[in-house]
Amino acid sequence: MSSVLNRDEFTAGYLIEADEHLRSAISNLLAVEAALASGAPQHRSVRELFRSLHTLKGLSAMVGVEPIVDLAHEMEAILRNADRHAGKLSAEAVELLLRGVRTIEERITAFANKQRVAPAPRKLLDALIAFQADAQLVEPKVTDTLSLDAELSAKLAAAEREQLASGIAAGRRALRIDFVPSPERSAAGVSITSVRERIGALAEIVKVVPRAVPKSGDAPAGLLFALLVLTEASDEALASAACTDAGSFMPIELQPRAAAELGPEDDELPDDTVQAGKSFIRVEVSRLDDALEKLSSLVVTRFKLVHALNALRDRGVDVRELSSILHENHRQLRDLRGAITRARMVSVSELLERVPLIVRGMQRSTGKHVRLQVDAGRAELDKAVAERVFPALVHLVRNAVDHAIESPSERQKSGKPAEGTISVSCFEHSDTLLEISVSDDGRGIDAAAVAQRAGRRVPQDERELLELITLPGLSTLQAATSNSGRGMGMDIVRRIAVDLLGGELSLRTTPGRGSTFTMRLPMSISILDSFSFVCADQTFAVPISVVDEIVDLESSRIVRTPEPQRGKLAALRLLQRRSEAIPLFSLATLLSLVTSRDEGEKALIVRPRGQAFAFAVDRMLGQQEIVVRPLEDPLVKVAGVAGTTDLGDGRPTLVLDLIGLSVLAARVSGETRASA
């Protein structure tokens, strides 16, 4: 075995962990800043921030990235001092630490790209050291102590004691709740992890301390966990959550400080968590991609089996047992697809973690006051989709701050609060679609001004306005700034959401009141549920998620437009459906396919941005999972075609983008009517 350590073996794992700790550090710094503004305690965020930086320093030392070690060490010193002073950080300290985190992030990016990692900036290191010296001048004031036994009190850091004392002084109840594990409770699924989760929903857990006790019938393992909490919940609710009796609760009270010492201060911040419960394993995304690729091959093989089975049936062979086996295989493939897809999913809240930092930086550069509201819920999406959509989300948020939100003085003149509001919300629109919206209460979009800037006619509705503002190279600013004005914003958003991910982009805007941009995206891209159909003797597929309805075409419900039509869409018709007149297009005509049929038998209805369109096809074939292969080569990429698939017959089948075709149909239809 070689004794030489290959650093590259640890690089992938280092980058994954470094990214996690960076996100945690940013999140906790922003939480500290929010606590400063509201006057709330900062204790837990300070401790978690310390742990992230301490771990990041150790990992960076292992792979030899010394500039990060230098920065993290000086930042740790500020946080260690803050912990000794009841966990208090000033606004100046938060700003300095944010600069440090951004500098660390730059060096991690350089390391990931195998570029030279620049030394830690001397000015920043000097500023961190100088701040430590100034902070040492302030001593913590502890006038009261807590009614805890000496053993528990010794395990509390100064910040934790201050956290309890501050909560009691603010009128909250402080309690010690003991949980004793046992085989019976474990068999019932009750553990310290489940108890901690339930208690955490009712109370603020300050610390969980494991304690050894004499073995007995009540404590067969000789162990109990003391949970120190602050709460307003009732004893009954807490007892139910802790699976214990409320009579065993011990209140924690403030009492005048005696001569006894509070216990030794640790040089490092203590660990107040019990690491138990779910276990995780890190897997490279490329391995999950490989598993999905192999699953895709299995799906195609199943199509071939279906074709072979149908051929046997046509020859009179009894295939009932084979059909049963194939049906079971189909169910197993769906389960396997679900398992692999879930493994690739990431929380949308993780995607949105960096948005507050983006808004914070924009506030400083623009001088505007912005309040950010984020509602991610529990939605998830594929890792590949998340990585592709994040730049689009960044553009929408930056545009909202830079373009939409007015200056404080302008807002006050128009009767608005000086602080603007930006909301980022996300929810699952269906089992396969995710909807992400970015809203603001700013000035809205002036359609006439945008049209003048673009040299186009004034849009008649929001759909036309969206088409206008997503023109390549268009900017509504007279001069470029450090944030925007280079014509590289909304065009990128449209290309990512619509062209790259096959989703939708829509706009709602009201002058003087604000705008909302909404992206409706597939949660996963690769294996999709689809409808297959025949049009002009060719087979096509379309994702189920984009089809609103499939209807029979009856001549009694089809109305031809009265005005003469010329050009490509001369056969434009209207389909009467539930008191609604829906434009009906021949899919064969749109795709320039030669067909001998005048009318189709079925129509696929889609509703991009709420406007319905119907596409006539010859007949439906069925529903199945398909593996979509995107058309990357610009020479074969065609508007209205999302990719290709194999339905088991060995021939490529086009997967249509009906949303893109509806936009094309509406545009060509308008041009045709204008020329008539």
Q: Which residue has the tokens 């003048």?
A: 452
Q: Which fold has domain 144-256?
A: Alpha-Beta Plaits (3.30.70)
Q: What is the pLDDT of residues 3-29, one digit of tens each?
A: 333 445 557 777 878 888 888 888 888
Work out the average pLDDT over 268-286.
52
Show the tokens assigned to 472. Answer: 């390549």
Helix axes 43-63, 91-112, angle to 10 degrees: 30
Q: Quick check: 672 pLDDT over 60? A: no
Work out the average pLDDT over 121-136.
78
d(CA 39, CA 617): 64
Specify the pairing of strand 558-560 against strand 613-617: unpaired
Range of 255-259, 349-353, 631-635 with top mean pLDDT: 349-353
CA distances (Å), origin 585, targets 329, 605, 617, 624, 641: 38, 10, 9, 25, 16
Q: What is the pLDDT of residues 88-123, one digit of tens each?
A: 778 888 888 888 888 998 888 888 888 888 888 898
Element (H, E) at 75: helix 66-84
Cβ-contact 665, 585 below 8 angstroms: yes
166-174: long-range contacts, CB 8 A cutoff, minimum separation 24: 166/41, 167/41, 167/204, 167/206, 167/230, 168/230, 168/252, 168/253, 168/254, 169/254, 172/230, 172/231, 172/232, 173/230, 173/231, 173/232, 173/251, 174/146, 174/228, 174/229, 174/230, 174/251, 174/252, 174/253
Give, rounded to a whole angstrom, the gap between the first and last alpha carbons of the chain.
82
Q: What is the pLDDT of residues 416-450, one digit of tens each?
A: 999 999 999 888 766 667 889 999 999 998 888 88
Show the tokens assigned to 430. Answer: 């269906």
pLDDT of amino acid 438: 93
Work out the average pLDDT over 641-669.
76
pLDDT of amino acid 335: 84
Question: 104 φ, ψ to 5°?
Answer: -65, -45
Cβ-contact 381, 429 below 8 angstroms: no
Confidence bin at 469 (pLDDT 50/70/90): confident
pLDDT of amino acid 3: 38
d(CA 344, CA 348): 13
Residue 62 burial class via C-beta count within 10 angstroms: exposed 0-12, middle 13-18, buried 19 and up: middle
Residue 99 burial class via C-beta count within 10 angstroms: exposed 0-12, middle 13-18, buried 19 and up: middle
The proportion of the chain whose per-residue pLDDT surpasses 90, expressed as a percent, equals 4
Residues in Cβ contact with 173 at an 8 Å cutoff, skipping those fewer than 6 apart: 230, 231, 232, 251
Residue 478: helix, strand or coil by DSSP? coil
pLDDT of amino acid 515: 92
Angle, vertex CA 45, rays to CA 364 and CA 131, nearest 5:
60
- Supply the pTM of this predicted model: 0.59
pLDDT of amino acid 565: 47
Its CATH architecture, for the domain 352-522, is: 2-Layer Sandwich (3.30)
pLDDT of amino acid 271: 43
- Among 389, 383, 385, which Cα is nearest to 287's? 383
Q: Quick check: 159 pLDDT over 70? A: no
Confidence bin at 1 (pLDDT 50/70/90): very low
Residues in Cβ contact with 229 at an 8 Å cutoff, skipping those fewer than 6 apart: 174, 175, 177, 199, 203, 204, 205, 206, 238
CA distances (Å), origin 69, targets 73, 101, 116, 482, 619: 6, 12, 16, 31, 66
Confidence bin at 514 (pLDDT 50/70/90): very high
- Among 48, 143, 24, 138, which Cα is nearest to 92's? 138
Q: What is the pLDDT of residues 305-322, one digit of tens each?
A: 888 888 888 888 888 888
Confidence bin at 486 (pLDDT 50/70/90): very low
Confidence bin at 561 (pLDDT 50/70/90): low
Work out the average pLDDT over 630-642.
66
Q: What's domain 527-675's superfamily in CATH? A: CheA-289, Domain 4 (2.40.50.180)
The secondary structure of 552-592 as a DSSP string is E--GGGEEE-SS---STTTT-EEEEETTEEEEEEEHHHHTT
The proportion of the chain whose per-residue pLDDT surpasses 70, expressed as a percent, equals 80
Q: Quick check: 517 pLDDT over 90? A: yes
Helix axes 8-38, 355-366, angle to 10 degrees: 60
d(CA 164, CA 231): 11
Q: Quick check: 136 pLDDT over 60? A: no
Q: Quick check: 487 pLDDT over 60? A: no
Question: 429 φ, ψ to 5°?
Answer: -75, -30
Which is more confidently placed, 68 or 136? 68
pLDDT of amino acid 562: 59
Cβ-contact 16, 111 below 8 angstroms: no
Confidence bin at 640 (pLDDT 50/70/90): confident
Confidence bin at 281 (pLDDT 50/70/90): low
pLDDT of amino acid 421: 92
d(CA 570, CA 300): 39
Q: What letter would DSSP give residue 495?
A: I
Work out the average pLDDT over 251-258.
71
Q: Quick check: 35 pLDDT over 70? A: yes
CA 111 to chain centre: 25
* Average of per-residue pLDDT values in the chain: 78
Residues in Cβ contact with 389 at an 8 Å cutoff, skipping those fewer than 6 apart: 351, 381, 436, 496, 497, 501, 519, 521
Q: Quick check: 56 pLDDT over 90? A: no
**Which residues, listed in sequence order, are joined to residue 224 by a DSSP beta bridge?**
211
**CATH, domain range 8-135:** 1.20.120.160
